[in-house]
Protein backbone atom coordinates (compact mmCIF):
# COMPACT_ATOMS: atom_id res chain seq x y z
CA UNK A 1 0.00 0.00 0.00
CA UNK A 2 1.15 3.59 -0.57
CA UNK A 3 1.32 6.35 2.04
CA UNK A 4 -2.21 7.44 1.21
CA UNK A 5 -3.72 4.10 2.22
CA UNK A 6 -7.02 4.42 4.03
CA UNK A 7 -8.79 1.95 6.24
CA UNK A 8 -11.57 0.23 4.30
CA UNK A 9 -14.89 1.99 4.82
CA UNK A 10 -16.66 -1.38 5.04
CA UNK A 11 -15.83 -5.06 4.70
CA UNK A 12 -17.92 -5.69 1.58
CA UNK A 13 -18.96 -3.32 -1.18
CA UNK A 14 -21.82 -4.04 -3.60
CA UNK A 15 -21.15 -2.70 -7.10
CA UNK A 16 -23.58 -3.39 -9.94
CA UNK A 17 -23.39 -2.62 -13.64
CA UNK A 18 -26.71 -1.74 -15.24
CA UNK A 19 -25.70 -0.70 -18.75
CA UNK A 20 -23.51 -2.58 -21.20
CA UNK A 21 -23.75 -0.07 -24.05
CA UNK A 22 -25.68 3.00 -25.17
CA UNK A 23 -29.02 1.44 -26.02
CA UNK A 24 -29.12 -1.23 -23.34
CA UNK A 25 -32.42 -1.61 -21.49
CA UNK A 26 -33.22 1.18 -19.06
CA UNK A 27 -34.90 -1.47 -16.91
CA UNK A 28 -31.49 -2.92 -16.02
CA UNK A 29 -30.39 -0.04 -13.77
CA UNK A 30 -33.94 0.75 -12.65
CA UNK A 31 -34.40 -2.79 -11.36
CA UNK A 32 -30.94 -2.89 -9.78
CA UNK A 33 -31.83 0.14 -7.69
CA UNK A 34 -35.27 -1.16 -6.73
CA UNK A 35 -34.86 -4.91 -6.27
CA UNK A 36 -32.15 -5.20 -3.63
CA UNK A 37 -29.29 -3.60 -1.71
CA UNK A 38 -26.62 -1.69 -3.61
CA UNK A 39 -23.72 0.63 -2.83
CA UNK A 40 -22.68 1.62 -6.35
CA UNK A 41 -24.39 1.61 -9.73
CA UNK A 42 -22.06 1.74 -12.72
CA UNK A 43 -23.18 2.43 -16.29
CA UNK A 44 -21.16 1.87 -19.45
CA UNK A 45 -22.42 3.80 -22.49
CA UNK A 46 -19.39 4.19 -24.73
CA UNK A 47 -18.13 2.26 -27.72
CA UNK A 48 -15.51 3.48 -30.17
CA UNK A 49 -17.99 4.63 -32.81
CA UNK A 50 -20.19 6.24 -30.15
CA UNK A 51 -17.63 8.95 -29.46
CA UNK A 52 -17.52 9.93 -33.11
CA UNK A 53 -21.32 10.24 -33.17
CA UNK A 54 -21.19 12.37 -30.03
CA UNK A 55 -18.49 14.58 -31.53
CA UNK A 56 -20.74 15.31 -34.51
CA UNK A 57 -23.63 16.06 -32.17
CA UNK A 58 -21.51 18.55 -30.23
CA UNK A 59 -20.36 20.12 -33.48
CA UNK A 60 -24.00 20.89 -34.31
CA UNK A 61 -24.98 21.88 -30.78
CA UNK A 62 -22.43 22.76 -28.03
CA UNK A 63 -24.88 21.45 -25.43
CA UNK A 64 -24.85 17.94 -26.91
CA UNK A 65 -22.27 15.19 -27.17
CA UNK A 66 -23.17 12.96 -24.21
CA UNK A 67 -25.42 9.98 -23.51
CA UNK A 68 -28.87 11.52 -23.14
CA UNK A 69 -30.23 8.17 -21.93
CA UNK A 70 -28.23 8.67 -18.74
CA UNK A 71 -30.01 11.92 -17.94
CA UNK A 72 -33.38 10.24 -18.56
CA UNK A 73 -32.35 7.46 -16.18
CA UNK A 74 -31.34 9.86 -13.42
CA UNK A 75 -34.67 11.64 -13.90
CA UNK A 76 -36.41 8.32 -13.30
CA UNK A 77 -34.48 7.11 -10.25
CA UNK A 78 -33.15 10.29 -8.60
CA UNK A 79 -35.39 10.10 -5.51
CA UNK A 80 -34.38 6.48 -4.86
CA UNK A 81 -30.68 7.23 -5.37
CA UNK A 82 -30.84 10.01 -2.81
CA UNK A 83 -32.95 8.05 -0.34
CA UNK A 84 -30.77 4.93 -0.49
CA UNK A 85 -27.46 6.73 -0.82
CA UNK A 86 -26.48 4.80 -3.93
CA UNK A 87 -23.49 6.29 -5.73
CA UNK A 88 -23.39 6.32 -9.53
CA UNK A 89 -20.36 6.09 -11.82
CA UNK A 90 -20.99 6.44 -15.56
CA UNK A 91 -19.00 7.24 -18.69
CA UNK A 92 -22.07 9.04 -20.02
CA UNK A 93 -20.14 12.29 -20.46
CA UNK A 94 -18.93 11.19 -23.88
CA UNK A 95 -17.16 14.18 -25.46
CA UNK A 96 -19.04 16.76 -23.37
CA UNK A 97 -18.99 15.84 -19.65
CA UNK A 98 -19.74 19.42 -18.59
CA UNK A 99 -22.95 19.55 -20.60
CA UNK A 100 -23.93 16.16 -19.17
CA UNK A 101 -23.30 17.41 -15.63
CA UNK A 102 -25.40 20.52 -16.29
CA UNK A 103 -28.28 18.35 -17.52
CA UNK A 104 -28.03 16.09 -14.47
CA UNK A 105 -28.03 19.09 -12.13
CA UNK A 106 -31.21 20.33 -13.82
CA UNK A 107 -32.85 16.97 -13.21
CA UNK A 108 -31.79 16.95 -9.55
CA UNK A 109 -33.21 20.45 -9.14
CA UNK A 110 -36.45 19.29 -10.71
CA UNK A 111 -36.72 16.63 -7.99
CA UNK A 112 -35.72 19.02 -5.23
CA UNK A 113 -32.57 17.00 -4.52
CA UNK A 114 -30.28 19.49 -2.82
CA UNK A 115 -26.77 18.85 -1.60
CA UNK A 116 -26.02 16.05 -4.08
CA UNK A 117 -22.42 16.29 -5.28
CA UNK A 118 -21.92 15.65 -9.00
CA UNK A 119 -18.41 15.23 -10.40
CA UNK A 120 -16.90 15.10 -13.85
CA UNK A 121 -13.59 13.62 -14.94
CA UNK A 122 -11.97 15.37 -17.89
CA UNK A 123 -8.74 15.00 -19.84
CA UNK A 124 -9.53 12.07 -22.09
CA UNK A 125 -10.60 14.24 -25.05
CA UNK A 126 -7.40 15.16 -26.89
CA UNK A 127 -9.02 16.11 -30.21
CA UNK A 128 -8.03 19.77 -29.93
CA UNK A 129 -4.48 18.81 -28.93
CA UNK A 130 -3.74 16.49 -31.84
CA UNK A 131 -1.58 18.89 -33.85
CA UNK A 132 0.49 19.77 -30.81
CA UNK A 133 0.94 16.12 -29.90
CA UNK A 134 1.98 15.22 -33.44
CA UNK A 135 4.41 18.13 -33.41
CA UNK A 136 5.94 16.92 -30.13
CA UNK A 137 6.93 13.61 -31.68
CA UNK A 138 3.87 11.50 -30.88
CA UNK A 139 3.00 9.93 -34.24
CA UNK A 140 -0.09 8.11 -32.90
CA UNK A 141 0.57 5.28 -35.33
CA UNK A 142 -2.29 2.88 -36.00
CA UNK A 143 -1.69 -0.15 -33.78
CA UNK A 144 -2.88 -2.49 -36.54
CA UNK A 145 -1.46 -0.97 -39.73
CA UNK A 146 1.46 1.06 -38.23
CA UNK A 147 0.51 4.06 -40.40
CA UNK A 148 1.07 7.47 -38.74
CA UNK A 149 -2.01 9.48 -37.86
CA UNK A 150 -0.75 12.24 -40.15
CA UNK A 151 -1.94 10.09 -43.08
CA UNK A 152 -5.57 10.77 -42.09
CA UNK A 153 -5.20 13.85 -39.86
CA UNK A 154 -7.56 16.00 -41.94
CA UNK A 155 -10.27 13.34 -41.65
CA UNK A 156 -10.09 12.73 -37.88
CA UNK A 157 -13.41 13.38 -36.13
CA UNK A 158 -12.60 12.41 -32.53
CA UNK A 159 -9.66 11.38 -30.36
CA UNK A 160 -10.02 10.11 -26.81
CA UNK A 161 -7.66 8.52 -24.31
CA UNK A 162 -8.73 5.50 -22.27
CA UNK A 163 -8.20 6.97 -18.80
CA UNK A 164 -7.75 4.78 -15.75
CA UNK A 165 -9.70 4.41 -12.52
CA UNK A 166 -7.81 6.71 -10.14
CA UNK A 167 -9.51 9.95 -11.27
CA UNK A 168 -12.85 8.26 -10.52
CA UNK A 169 -11.61 7.37 -7.05
CA UNK A 170 -10.48 10.99 -6.60
CA UNK A 171 -13.98 12.23 -7.42
CA UNK A 172 -15.48 9.79 -4.93
CA UNK A 173 -12.91 10.85 -2.32
CA UNK A 174 -14.29 14.39 -2.72
CA UNK A 175 -17.76 13.16 -1.81
CA UNK A 176 -19.34 12.89 -5.23
CA UNK A 177 -22.50 10.78 -5.35
CA UNK A 178 -22.65 10.90 -9.15
CA UNK A 179 -19.42 10.68 -11.16
CA UNK A 180 -19.55 11.37 -14.90
CA UNK A 181 -16.58 10.55 -17.10
CA UNK A 182 -15.73 10.60 -20.77
CA UNK A 183 -13.69 7.81 -22.33
CA UNK A 184 -12.01 5.45 -19.88
CA UNK A 185 -11.56 1.75 -19.56
CA UNK A 186 -14.76 -0.21 -19.10
CA UNK A 187 -13.45 -2.08 -16.01
CA UNK A 188 -12.36 1.25 -14.51
CA UNK A 189 -15.98 2.09 -13.70
CA UNK A 190 -15.87 -0.69 -11.09
CA UNK A 191 -12.20 -0.39 -10.14
CA UNK A 192 -12.57 3.31 -9.25
CA UNK A 193 -15.05 2.71 -6.41
CA UNK A 194 -12.90 -0.18 -5.10
CA UNK A 195 -9.82 2.05 -4.97
CA UNK A 196 -11.88 4.65 -3.10
CA UNK A 197 -13.45 2.21 -0.66
CA UNK A 198 -10.42 0.08 0.14
CA UNK A 199 -7.56 2.54 -0.27
CA UNK A 200 -5.76 0.51 -2.90
CA UNK A 201 -2.59 2.24 -4.11
CA UNK A 202 -1.09 2.60 -7.58
CA UNK A 203 1.42 -0.19 -6.90
CA UNK A 204 -1.03 -2.71 -5.44
CA UNK A 205 -0.84 -4.69 -8.66
CA UNK A 206 -2.68 -7.82 -7.51
CA UNK A 207 -5.53 -5.84 -6.00
CA UNK A 208 -5.83 -3.59 -9.04
CA UNK A 209 -5.86 -6.69 -11.24
CA UNK A 210 -8.66 -8.17 -9.13
CA UNK A 211 -10.74 -5.01 -9.48
CA UNK A 212 -10.06 -4.91 -13.21
CA UNK A 213 -11.19 -8.51 -13.64
CA UNK A 214 -14.32 -7.79 -11.59
CA UNK A 215 -15.07 -4.81 -13.80
CA UNK A 216 -14.50 -6.83 -16.96
CA UNK A 217 -16.88 -9.55 -15.85
CA UNK A 218 -19.78 -7.14 -15.30
CA UNK A 219 -18.99 -4.51 -17.97
CA UNK A 220 -21.44 -5.96 -20.51
CA UNK A 221 -24.33 -6.06 -18.07
CA UNK A 222 -26.45 -9.19 -18.29
CA UNK A 223 -23.94 -10.92 -20.56
CA UNK A 224 -22.48 -12.59 -17.41
CA UNK A 225 -25.86 -13.51 -15.91
CA UNK A 226 -27.18 -15.55 -18.83
CA UNK A 227 -27.51 -13.07 -21.67
CA UNK A 228 -25.91 -14.04 -24.99
CA UNK A 229 -25.15 -17.43 -23.43
CA UNK A 230 -24.52 -20.52 -25.56
CA UNK A 231 -26.67 -22.89 -23.47
CA UNK A 232 -29.56 -20.41 -23.58
CA UNK A 233 -32.26 -23.00 -22.81
CA UNK A 234 -30.91 -23.22 -19.26
CA UNK A 235 -31.58 -19.55 -18.56
CA UNK A 236 -34.76 -19.05 -16.51
CA UNK A 237 -36.99 -16.00 -16.97
CA UNK A 238 -34.76 -14.18 -19.43
CA UNK A 239 -37.37 -11.43 -19.74
CA UNK A 240 -36.55 -10.38 -16.17
CA UNK A 241 -32.87 -11.28 -16.26
CA UNK A 242 -30.96 -9.96 -13.29
CA UNK A 243 -28.09 -7.58 -14.00
CA UNK A 244 -24.78 -8.41 -12.29
CA UNK A 245 -23.52 -7.37 -8.90
CA UNK A 246 -19.98 -7.68 -7.55
CA UNK A 247 -19.62 -8.27 -3.82
CA UNK A 248 -16.05 -7.09 -3.35
CA UNK A 249 -13.70 -7.31 -0.39
CA UNK A 250 -10.54 -5.38 0.43
CA UNK A 251 -8.34 -8.45 -0.10
CA UNK A 252 -9.24 -8.56 -3.80
CA UNK A 253 -11.61 -11.50 -3.65
CA UNK A 254 -15.13 -10.99 -4.92
CA UNK A 255 -18.39 -12.76 -5.66
CA UNK A 256 -20.37 -12.30 -8.87
CA UNK A 257 -24.10 -12.45 -8.13
CA UNK A 258 -27.47 -10.80 -8.81
CA UNK A 259 -30.49 -9.72 -6.81
CA UNK A 260 -32.59 -12.50 -5.27
CA UNK A 261 -35.71 -13.41 -7.21
CA UNK A 262 -34.49 -12.10 -10.56
CA UNK A 263 -34.22 -14.11 -13.75
CA UNK A 264 -31.06 -15.25 -15.42
CA UNK A 265 -28.27 -17.47 -14.17
CA UNK A 266 -24.93 -16.92 -12.45
CA UNK A 267 -22.66 -19.94 -12.47
CA UNK A 268 -19.03 -20.62 -13.32
CA UNK A 269 -19.90 -21.18 -16.97
CA UNK A 270 -21.77 -17.89 -17.48
CA UNK A 271 -18.97 -15.99 -15.78
CA UNK A 272 -16.28 -17.73 -17.85
CA UNK A 273 -18.21 -16.86 -21.01
CA UNK A 274 -17.91 -13.18 -20.18
CA UNK A 275 -14.38 -13.51 -18.80
CA UNK A 276 -13.24 -14.56 -22.29
CA UNK A 277 -15.07 -11.67 -24.00
CA UNK A 278 -12.87 -9.35 -26.13
CA UNK A 279 -9.78 -11.15 -24.93
CA UNK A 280 -6.32 -10.79 -26.46
CA UNK A 281 -3.53 -12.31 -24.38
CA UNK A 282 -5.35 -13.54 -21.24
CA UNK A 283 -2.14 -13.37 -19.22
CA UNK A 284 -1.57 -9.72 -20.18
CA UNK A 285 -4.83 -7.78 -20.16
CA UNK A 286 -3.55 -4.22 -20.58
CA UNK A 287 -5.16 -1.26 -18.82
CA UNK A 288 -3.81 2.17 -17.78
CA UNK A 289 -3.78 1.00 -14.15
CA UNK A 290 -2.35 -2.52 -14.29
CA UNK A 291 -1.59 -5.52 -16.46
CA UNK A 292 -4.04 -8.16 -15.23
CA UNK A 293 -3.41 -11.88 -15.56
CA UNK A 294 -6.79 -13.44 -16.25
CA UNK A 295 -5.27 -16.92 -16.13
CA UNK A 296 -4.39 -16.47 -12.46
CA UNK A 297 -7.91 -16.44 -11.05
CA UNK A 298 -9.87 -19.32 -9.58
CA UNK A 299 -13.64 -19.52 -9.94
CA UNK A 300 -15.79 -21.43 -7.49
CA UNK A 301 -19.54 -21.93 -7.26
CA UNK A 302 -20.23 -20.66 -3.75
CA UNK A 303 -24.00 -21.09 -3.85
CA UNK A 304 -27.04 -20.39 -6.03
CA UNK A 305 -26.24 -17.39 -8.26
CA UNK A 306 -22.91 -16.87 -6.49
CA UNK A 307 -19.50 -17.35 -8.11
CA UNK A 308 -16.44 -16.56 -6.01
CA UNK A 309 -13.35 -15.24 -7.82
CA UNK A 310 -9.93 -15.19 -6.15
CA UNK A 311 -6.20 -15.33 -6.76
CA UNK A 312 -5.83 -12.44 -9.20
CA UNK A 313 -2.30 -11.43 -10.10
CA UNK A 314 -1.16 -8.20 -11.69
CA UNK A 315 1.94 -6.46 -13.02
CA UNK A 316 2.96 -2.78 -13.47
CA UNK A 317 1.06 -0.86 -16.10
CA UNK A 318 2.63 0.27 -19.38
CA UNK A 319 3.87 3.88 -19.81
CA UNK A 320 1.28 4.60 -22.50
CA UNK A 321 -2.43 5.19 -22.78
CA UNK A 322 -4.47 3.65 -25.56
CA UNK A 323 -6.14 6.26 -27.76
CA UNK A 324 -9.34 5.76 -29.69
CA UNK A 325 -9.50 7.94 -32.79
CA UNK A 326 -12.21 7.95 -35.42
CA UNK A 327 -11.93 9.32 -38.93
CA UNK A 328 -13.96 9.77 -42.09
CA UNK A 329 -13.32 6.66 -44.16
CA UNK A 330 -15.56 7.06 -47.20
CA UNK A 331 -19.19 6.24 -47.88
CA UNK A 332 -21.46 3.22 -47.79
CA UNK A 333 -25.00 2.26 -48.76
CA UNK A 334 -26.86 -0.92 -47.87
CA UNK A 335 -30.35 -2.17 -48.61
CA UNK A 336 -32.35 -5.35 -48.51
CA UNK A 337 -35.28 -7.13 -50.11
CA UNK A 338 -37.22 -10.24 -49.13
CA UNK A 339 -37.38 -12.95 -51.78
CA UNK A 340 -40.14 -15.51 -51.18
CA UNK A 341 -41.71 -18.59 -52.70
CA UNK A 342 -40.19 -21.60 -54.47
CA UNK A 343 -36.49 -21.39 -55.30
CA UNK A 344 -36.11 -18.32 -53.07
CA UNK A 345 -32.34 -18.61 -52.77
CA UNK A 346 -31.81 -19.05 -56.51
CA UNK A 347 -34.03 -16.06 -57.22
CA UNK A 348 -32.17 -13.96 -54.64
CA UNK A 349 -28.85 -14.76 -56.29
CA UNK A 350 -30.32 -13.80 -59.64
CA UNK A 351 -31.48 -10.48 -58.16
CA UNK A 352 -27.95 -9.69 -57.01
CA UNK A 353 -26.56 -10.59 -60.43
CA UNK A 354 -29.12 -8.29 -62.08
CA UNK A 355 -28.15 -5.35 -59.86
CA UNK A 356 -24.42 -5.65 -60.56
CA UNK A 357 -24.97 -6.07 -64.33
CA UNK A 358 -27.27 -3.07 -64.58
CA UNK A 359 -24.83 -0.89 -62.67
CA UNK A 360 -21.96 -2.06 -64.86
CA UNK A 361 -23.97 -1.21 -67.97
CA UNK A 362 -24.28 2.35 -66.67
CA UNK A 363 -20.55 2.61 -66.02
CA UNK A 364 -20.49 1.83 -62.30
CA UNK A 365 -18.18 -1.09 -61.46
CA UNK A 366 -17.52 -2.22 -57.87
CA UNK A 367 -14.57 -4.39 -56.90
CA UNK A 368 -14.88 -7.36 -54.52
CA UNK A 369 -13.68 -5.25 -51.59
CA UNK A 370 -16.26 -2.55 -52.38
CA UNK A 371 -19.42 -4.62 -52.39
CA UNK A 372 -21.49 -6.78 -50.06
CA UNK A 373 -23.80 -9.60 -51.03
CA UNK A 374 -25.53 -11.69 -48.34
CA UNK A 375 -28.45 -14.10 -48.26
CA UNK A 376 -30.00 -14.10 -44.80
CA UNK A 377 -31.79 -17.36 -44.20
CA UNK A 378 -29.20 -19.34 -46.16
CA UNK A 379 -26.74 -19.83 -43.29
CA UNK A 380 -24.81 -16.61 -43.90
CA UNK A 381 -24.10 -16.02 -40.21
CA UNK A 382 -22.64 -19.51 -39.63
CA UNK A 383 -21.38 -20.43 -43.07
CA UNK A 384 -19.77 -23.86 -43.17
CA UNK A 385 -21.70 -25.22 -40.18
CA UNK A 386 -24.20 -27.79 -41.33
CA UNK A 387 -27.72 -27.59 -39.92
CA UNK A 388 -29.25 -31.10 -39.60
CA UNK A 389 -32.23 -31.57 -41.87
CA UNK A 390 -31.83 -28.15 -43.47
CA UNK A 391 -33.70 -27.64 -46.72
CA UNK A 392 -33.96 -24.76 -49.16
CA UNK A 393 -35.54 -21.81 -47.32
CA UNK A 394 -39.03 -20.65 -48.24
CA UNK A 395 -37.83 -17.06 -48.09
CA UNK A 396 -34.50 -15.26 -48.13
CA UNK A 397 -33.52 -11.72 -47.25
CA UNK A 398 -31.14 -10.39 -49.87
CA UNK A 399 -28.83 -7.81 -48.35
CA UNK A 400 -26.56 -5.85 -50.67
CA UNK A 401 -24.25 -2.93 -50.20
CA UNK A 402 -21.32 -0.98 -51.55
CA UNK A 403 -18.64 1.26 -50.08
CA UNK A 404 -15.93 3.56 -51.35
CA UNK A 405 -14.55 7.11 -51.39
CA UNK A 406 -16.87 8.36 -54.18
CA UNK A 407 -20.25 9.36 -52.73
CA UNK A 408 -21.86 9.62 -56.20
CA UNK A 409 -20.82 6.07 -57.05
CA UNK A 410 -22.15 4.76 -53.74
CA UNK A 411 -25.45 6.62 -54.17
CA UNK A 412 -25.86 5.23 -57.69
CA UNK A 413 -26.07 1.70 -56.29
CA UNK A 414 -29.13 2.60 -54.21
CA UNK A 415 -31.34 3.24 -57.23
CA UNK A 416 -31.05 -0.29 -58.65
CA UNK A 417 -32.36 -2.37 -55.74
CA UNK A 418 -36.03 -1.40 -55.61
CA UNK A 419 -36.67 -1.84 -59.38
CA UNK A 420 -36.27 -5.61 -58.88
CA UNK A 421 -39.84 -5.64 -57.59
CA UNK A 422 -41.18 -5.34 -61.15
CA UNK A 423 -38.16 -6.16 -63.30
CA UNK A 424 -36.72 -9.17 -61.49
CA UNK A 425 -37.91 -12.68 -60.62
CA UNK A 426 -41.26 -13.17 -58.82
CA UNK A 427 -41.73 -13.00 -55.05
CA UNK A 428 -39.72 -9.83 -54.35
CA UNK A 429 -41.02 -7.61 -51.55
CA UNK A 430 -39.89 -5.68 -48.48
CA UNK A 431 -38.93 -2.44 -50.24
CA UNK A 432 -40.95 -0.05 -48.08
CA UNK A 433 -37.80 1.62 -46.77
CA UNK A 434 -37.12 3.14 -50.18
CA UNK A 435 -33.79 3.61 -51.89
CA UNK A 436 -30.60 3.11 -49.84
CA UNK A 437 -28.68 6.33 -49.50
CA UNK A 438 -24.98 6.94 -48.98
CA UNK A 439 -23.93 7.44 -45.39
CA UNK A 440 -20.52 8.18 -43.91
CA UNK A 441 -18.19 5.39 -42.86
CA UNK A 442 -16.46 6.06 -39.55
CA UNK A 443 -13.09 4.36 -39.36
CA UNK A 444 -11.46 3.28 -36.10
CA UNK A 445 -7.84 4.27 -35.43
CA UNK A 446 -6.30 2.75 -32.28
CA UNK A 447 -3.02 4.28 -31.14
CA UNK A 448 -0.73 4.72 -28.13
CA UNK A 449 0.18 7.96 -26.34
CA UNK A 450 2.77 8.64 -23.64
CA UNK A 451 0.97 9.06 -20.32
CA UNK A 452 2.91 12.18 -19.35
CA UNK A 453 1.26 14.02 -22.26
CA UNK A 454 -2.19 13.68 -20.65
CA UNK A 455 -3.58 15.62 -17.69
CA UNK A 456 -6.81 14.70 -15.92
CA UNK A 457 -9.13 17.08 -14.08
CA UNK A 458 -11.83 16.37 -11.51
CA UNK A 459 -14.54 18.96 -10.88
CA UNK A 460 -17.22 18.57 -8.20
CA UNK A 461 -20.40 20.66 -8.08
CA UNK A 462 -23.21 20.47 -5.51
CA UNK A 463 -26.86 20.54 -6.52
Tens digits of residue pLDDT in 200-219: 999 999 999 999 999 999 99
Chain centroid to CA 128: 24
pLDDT at residue 432, as a whole number: 75
DSSP secondary structure code for residue 387 in this structure: P
pLDDT at 2: 38
| DSSP per position, 133-189 | HHHTT-----TTT---GGGTGGGEEEEEE-B-SHHHHHHHHTT-SEEEESSB-TTHH
Residue 141 confidence (pLDDT) above 70: yes
Whole-number pLDDT of residue 54: 87
- Residue 172 — pLDDT band, cuts 50, 70, 90? very high
At 189, the pLDDT band (50, 70, 90 cuts) reads very high
Q: Is 11 exposed, middle or buried (0-12, 13-18, 19+ CB in 10 A)?
A: exposed
Per-residue exposure over 113-123, b if at least 16 CB sit within 10 Å of its own CB, e if not: beebbbbbbbb
Interacting residues of 389 by C-beta distance below 8 A, sequence separation 6+: none
Residue 151 is predicted with a pLDDT of 95
* pLDDT above 70 for 386: no
Q: Which residue has the higher pLDDT, 382 or 236?
A: 236
Average pLDDT over residues 109-125: 97
Q: What is the pLDDT of residue 10?
A: 86
* Structure confidence at residue 204 (pLDDT): 97
Q: Is the pLDDT of residue 36 over 50?
A: yes
Residue 381 has pLDDT above 70, yes or no: no
- pLDDT tens readout for residues 269-281: 999 999 999 888 9
Instruction: State mean pLDDT over 169-185.
Output: 97
- Residue 33's pLDDT is 97
Beta strand spans in 44-127 (E): 87-90, 117-122
* Mean pLDDT on 254-272: 97
**Chosen CATH of 326-445 out of 1.10.3470, 3.40.50, 2.30.40, 3.30.70:** 3.30.70
pLDDT band at 378 (very low <50, low <70, confident <90, very high): confident
Residue 430 confidence (pLDDT):
84
Which has more confidence, 137 or 431? 137
- 8 A C-beta contact, residue 297 and residue 312: yes
* 5 pLDDT more than 50: no
Q: What is the largest CA-CA distance in the chain?
A: 77
The per-residue pLDDT for 451 is 97
What are 388-439's pLDDT values in tens digits? 666 678 889 999 999 999 999 999 999 999 899 999 999 898 887 788 999 9
Confidence of residue 382 (pLDDT cuts 50, 70, 90): low
Best CA proximity match to 119, nearest among 94, 81, 165, 88: 88
pLDDT of 67 > 90? The answer is yes
How confident is the model at residue 431, as a pLDDT? 81
Do the beta carbons of residue 239 and residue 227 sit within 8 Å? no
Looking at every residue in the chain, the average pLDDT score rounds to: 93
Q: What is the pLDDT of residue 76?
A: 96
Element (H, E) at 354: helix 344-361
The answer, yes or no, to whether residue 3 has pLDDT greater than 50, is: no
Q: Provide the pLDDT for residue 259.
A: 98
Give the model's pLDDT for residue 389.
61
Q: What is the pLDDT at residue 58?
A: 86
**Cβ pair 83, 173 in contact under 8 A:** no
User: Cα–chain-centroid distance for residue 174?
Assistant: 27
Helix (H, G, I), strand (E, B) or coil at 36: coil
The residue ranges of every structural domain in the chain are 12-124+162-318, 326-445
Read off the pLDDT of residues 68-108 as tens digits, 9 standing for 90 and up.
Answer: 999 999 999 999 999 999 999 999 999 999 999 999 999 99
Q: What DSSP string runs through 219-251?
A: TTGGGGTTTT-TTGGG-S-GGGBPPPEEEEETT
Q: For residue range 273-320, list pLDDT tens digits in order.
A: 999 998 889 999 999 999 999 999 999 999 999 999 999 999 999 999
| Cα–Cα distance measured from residue 429 to residue 337, given in angstroms and rounded to the nearest whole number | 6
Report whether pLDDT(223) > 80.
yes
How far apart are alpha carbons 332 and 441 in whole angstroms?
A: 6
- Under the banding of pLDDT at 50, 70 and 90, the label for residue 51 is confident
Does 1 score more than 60 pLDDT? no
Worst-scoring range by mean pLDDT, 134-143, 172-181, 248-257, 383-392? 383-392
Amino acid sequence: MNDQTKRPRRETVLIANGQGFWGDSILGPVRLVREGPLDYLTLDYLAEVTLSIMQKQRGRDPKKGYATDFVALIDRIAPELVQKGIRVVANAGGVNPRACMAAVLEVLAKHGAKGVKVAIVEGDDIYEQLDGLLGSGENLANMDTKRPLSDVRSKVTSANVYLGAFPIAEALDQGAQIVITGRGTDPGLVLGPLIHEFGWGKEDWDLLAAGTIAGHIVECGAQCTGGNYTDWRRIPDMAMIGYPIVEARADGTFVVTKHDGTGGLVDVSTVVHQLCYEMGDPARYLTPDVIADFTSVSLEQEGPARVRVSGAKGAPATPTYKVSCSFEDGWKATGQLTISGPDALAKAKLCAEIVWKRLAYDGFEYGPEERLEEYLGANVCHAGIQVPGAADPAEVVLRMGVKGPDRRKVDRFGSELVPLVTSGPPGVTGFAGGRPKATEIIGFWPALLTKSKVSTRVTVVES
